[in-house]
Amino acid sequence: QKEVEQNSGPLSVPEGAIASLNCTYSDRGSQSFFWYRQYSGKSPELIMSIYSNGDKEDGRFTAQLNKASQYVSLLIRDSQPSDSATYLCAVTTGNQFYFGTGTSLTVIP
């Protein structure tokens, strides 16, 4: 089992809709959780970080963490074509960093 798992997609949503990206992790001791966005041919950039159970909102983005279910998600409200990218979930456990394989999102105008 991989440490971090994501549905690779592709996920397509119409412009203005809510995009929901999901991530599960295997190590219950995981402490920090991140969502990165990577445009094609570019480097990953951080969108959100979350450390405790519940929701964390930043503009159109909401990260949700449920440690009991070992699940972290990212919601993108009012999706825009510029949100089309690959979204990487990352988890830290002690001194280890693990990235998921990413979910490809396409927002259709």
Partner 1 sequence: DTAVSQTPKYLVTQMGNDKSIKCEQNLGHDTMYWYKQDSKKFLKIMFSYNNKELIINETVPNRFSPKSPDKAHLNLHINSLELGDSAVYFCASSQGWEQETQYFGPGTRLLVL
Binding site for partner 1 (CB under 8 A): 31-32, 34, 38, 42-46, 49, 51, 86, 88, 92, 95-99, 101-102
Residue 87's nearest CA partner among 65, 58, 68, 107 is 107
What whole-number distance in Å separates Cα of residue 51 and Cα of residue 84? 26
Cβ–Cβ under 8 Å, residues 16 and 109: no
Q: Minimum Å distance from CB 107 to partner 1?
A: 19
- Minimum gap (Å) between residue 29 Cβ and partner 1: 12
| Minimum CB distance to partner 1 smaller for 19 or for 91 | 91
Residue (9 or 17) nearer to partner 1, CB? 9
CA atoms within 13 A on the CB side of 78: 3
Residue 86 beta carbon to partner 1: minimum distance, rounded to whole angstroms: 6
The residue (of 69 and 95) whose beta carbon lies closer to partner 1 is: 95
User: Cα dihedral angle (52, 57, 62, 65), rounded to 10 degrees?
Assistant: 10
